[in-house]
Amino acid sequence: MAEPRRLLRIVVPVVAVLAALGAVAWLVWGRGGDEPTALPITQTEWADPTHLFTYVGCATITDVEVDRTGELPEVSIAGHRKGGGCQEFALIKVEEGATEIVDGTTGEPVELPTYRPGPATHGG
Residue 120: is its pLDDT beyond 80? no
The stretch 114-119 carries a mean pLDDT of: 82
Helix (H) or strand (E) holding 46: strand 43-48
pLDDT band at 85 (very low <50, low <70, confident <90, very high): confident
Q: Can you say whether residue 71 is alpha, beta or left, with left for phi > 0 and alpha for psi between -120 and 50 degrees?
A: alpha
Q: Are strands 37-38 and 74-81 parallel, antiparallel or unpaired?
A: antiparallel
Distance CA 124, CA 114 (A): 16
Task: Give the model confidence (pLDDT) of 5-49 as tens digits.
Answer: 666 666 666 555 656 666 555 555 555 457 899 999 999 999 999
Distance CA 78, CA 103 (A): 12
Which residue ranges make up each domain of the chain? 1-33, 37-111
The stretch 83-91 carries a mean pLDDT of: 91
Distance CA 11, CA 16 (A): 9
Q: Which amino acid is present at 107? A: G
Distance CA 97, CA 77 (A): 22
Q: Residue-wise over 32-43: b if at least 16 C-beta within 10 A, else e?
A: eeeeeeebebee
Give the model's pLDDT for residue 118: 74
Give the model's pLDDT for residue 116: 87
Q: What is the pTM of this model?
A: 0.69
First to last CA, the chain: 74
